[in-house]
Every structure is written in C-alpha cells, then in structure tokens.
Amino acid sequence: MEKKDQDVPLRSGGLHVVLDIMTEVERVVTEELETHPRFPDFQNRLGLIRFQRQDFEGAKTCFEKALSVNPNYQVAKSNLGFSLLELGRIEPAETVFRGALTADRKAYALNELAILRLRQGGCSEAEALLKEAVSQEPRNALYPHNLAAAFFLQNKVEEAAGSLREAARICPLYLDFFSEALLFSENRLLSDSYREYMSQQELNPYLSELHDHLGHAFAASGFLKEAEAEYRNSLRALPSLGNYCGNLALLYSAEGKEQEALTYYLKAVDAEPDSVKARVALAFEYSARGLATEAMRQFEAAKALKSGYPDIRYNLGLVYLELERREDATKEFRAALKSNPGYLFARNSLAFALFKDGDLDEALEEYKRVFSSGLLSSDILVNMGIIYREKGALEKALDSLNRAICLNADYAPAYFQLGQTYQVMGQKEKARRAWKAYLERTGEEAETVDIRKAMEEE
C-alpha cells in the first residue's frame, strides 16, 4: 500500500529537449521580437523557451510583456500563472488561474487550479476540481490524465488506474506512453513506475506549443525523426489527437508528400471537430493550395468555435479580401482589432480594405496609425501616396512615394505611382524618368502600353 504522505515530485516542465535546436529557435524568436516588439505571440513563445530552461523569472517577464500588448491573451495569462507557481508565488498564481474561470477556458482554469492544489498537497480539492473539468470537457484526455495523479496521491490506486485508462480511451496514443513507462502489469498500476512517470510529466499543457515549434524547426532542417520525437513530447504535454495529426501533416509536407499532408490535416479535424487549431491549420493548407473558398469555410468554422480570437478574425478577413468580399473583410479586421488593438497586421489590412473600397479618409487614418506604431513597408507608403494624390495633397504624395523607394529601391509600383503623380503635377520629364525606372523593374504588363504612350508624348 502507498503512504498518503509519500513525497512525489510534481513539476510543470523538464529539460529533455535538444538544446541546440532550442537555442536556434530562441535566436529566431528574439530576432523577430527586435523587428516586431509588440507582437505578443513572440513574447509568449520566448517565455515558453525560458520556462523550459527553468528561467522562471525571465519567463514571467515575457508573459507580462505579451499581456501588456494584449490583455486578453488567455494562454499567456495561464503561462504567467505557471511561472508564478514555479517561483513559489502561490497567491498571485491562484489569482491568475481564477481569472480564467469566467472565460471560455473554464476547464483549463480548473485544471490549473488543480495543479496548484496538488503542489500544495490539497489532493482532495484537486480531485474535485479535475472532476469538474472532466464534466466540462469530457472529450479532453488531459483532465482524466491529471485526475489520476490526484487519486494516486490519496492512495486511491484503483481509481488512478481507471482514470489513466479513460485518458487512453479518449487519446489512444497515450497507451504508447504508458507502455514505455511500464505503468501496468497484469492490468495493475505499478506505483513506483507511475511515481517516476509523474515526476517527468510536464503539467503545463501550453509547453506543447514549444515542442511543436521545436519539431517544426527539426522538420525544416530535415531531421524528421527528431521532429517526430518533439511532436510526441507535445502530445504528452497536451493529449490532442488533432494537434498531433496536424504535426504529422507538417512532417509529410517537409517530405514533399502533399497529398498525405492534406490527408492528415483532414484527420486532425475529424479527430477533434471542435479544435480551433486543427481547423486553422487545415484552412492554411487550403489557402496555400489556392483553395480560398475551402479555406474560408474552415476559418468560419474556427470563428464559430472561438469568435474572440483575433488571429482567426484576421485570417478570415484576408480570405474574404481574396474573394473580393471587402465589406466582410473589413468587419473581420475590425473584430480582430477590438480584441487586440495592437494587432498591426490587422490594422494594415483594414486600411487596405478601406482603401480598395474607396473610403480614403478612414484608410489614411488607419495607415497613419500603422505607420506611427512602427510597421513600415513600401506598399503602405505607396497606398498612402495614392490617397494623398487623390485628395490633392501632391507634395505629401511625393514624399510618401519617395520614402517607399528609399525603403525598397526595387519596388516597381512606387515608380509607377510616382510617375502618375508627376504627370498630375505637369512635370512630364520627371514622370518619364519614374516610368522608365518602373519599366526597368517589371515585365510587359497591360498598363505599360499606356505608360509608353505617355512617355512618347511631348
């Protein structure tokens, strides 16, 4: 029989990844942050790397920065709570976890509070919390998997075994983990093996995202076996068949097996129809294949599941733009910005949609906000130049177009619009030079015929 006070180490993360690839991922994320310091996803990802390195104070700082940009970033909030928990700041961690009880992630919040109670020795309360999480999301294997620990630590070994079997019923691939850890013998849970299994378990499910990115990095470098190992680590942290099938689809893509990749994206959605991540991954695959209508349907399904996710609304807006549904696109970009006002890509796309729809005044204001927030590109400056020209502000138009050329001397549309602006101003020689530069940078297109005629005029 197990002693109820038997000490069992419980951690939220381990260091079993290949450090070289993690260092490379960290370098890439850090560089991205230098370019886009207000992108909360990068801050969250860097926080996960530091968490995995057991730099919990550094992780906490990253998650706080992510939340300073987007206060509604629920995953970053949860990761902040786990960092506080590792730092021994129990009350602040509990405050963070409890804050999600009223959000659409209640079951996750219950799981997080249960982990906190397990760390405090409150196993009976953890059991109650995890049972409620199971009732909230009965198809999620994470909760019975963790409920087994609460049972075991109260010497309820048979109940723990039953809960582990339920987790494996929901996510059959868990049977492989249980077999590798030698958890069962003659259908009985082996206490010593299970205690060792618990000591290695990553109780922060969001570390699955880090393993996903490590796997992607391996796959992109051609290390497919190492990638698959990281995807298995991700599955163990978060038992999601949808996520795992999506990762296998990426492996097939890395091997150039496009049909197999699509098959596994479809399997991911079939395994978890309510998985936003699976729907979005399938949508991106359709989009990459030029199947905009199919991509739209998947993004719309993801939106129905999580309407408050700004990334979903943004990407759905992009598909609507591709389908020439600009009014719908504008609605989606506004919704993304309502959830995350600092989402510069969404603001830039909103400005573009307004610009294409002829709402030049509002488009210009949105472009100015994008510009002042640090997101700068030649296409933004060209569109601003066109708006200024249409409004009769010709000097401002010239300034924007010349800045676009300074930013990218090979951006052909900037020369074309510069020539158009000089023509409006009556400066024909400057217009000819700008159009000549445009023709040097582009092939024969329909509009070049008119340009050549204009260049030949006296």
Nearest to 424 by CA among 384, 367, 381, 386: 386
Residue 2 tokens read as 């197990």
Residue 304 lies in a domain: no
End residue of a domain, out of 140, 173, 206:
173
Residue 149 lies in a domain: yes
End residue of a domain, out of 122, 155, 173:
173
End residue of a domain, out of 173, 207, 227:
173
Q: Is residue 16 very low, low, confident or very high in pLDDT (cuts 50, 70, 90)?
A: very low
Residue 122 lies in a domain: yes
Angle subtended at Cα 99 by Cα 93 and Cα 100, rounded to the nearest 5 degrees: 105
Local structure of residue 185 (DSSP, 8 states): E
Number of domains in the chain: 2
Query: What's the pLDDT at 375?
Result: 80
Q: What is the pLDDT of residues 375-421, one digit of tens each?
A: 889 999 999 999 999 999 999 999 999 999 999 999 999 999 999 99
Q: Which CATH number is 388's domain given? A: 1.25.40.10
Range of the domain at 382: 376-458
Q: How far apart are CA 384 and CA 16, in angstroms?
A: 50
Residue 3 has pLDDT above 50, yes or no: no
Residue 54 lies in a domain: yes
Q: 377 versus 38: which is more confidently predicted?
A: 377
Residue 253 lies in a domain: no
Residue 408 lies in a domain: yes
Residue 38 lies in a domain: yes
Range 214-236 burial, b when 16+ CB lie within 10 A, else e: bbbbbbeeebeebbbbbbbbbbb
Q: What is the pLDDT of residues 248-259, one digit of tens each?
A: 999 999 889 999
Q: Could you tell me what percent of the chain has a pLDDT over 90? A: 74
Residue 209 lies in a domain: no
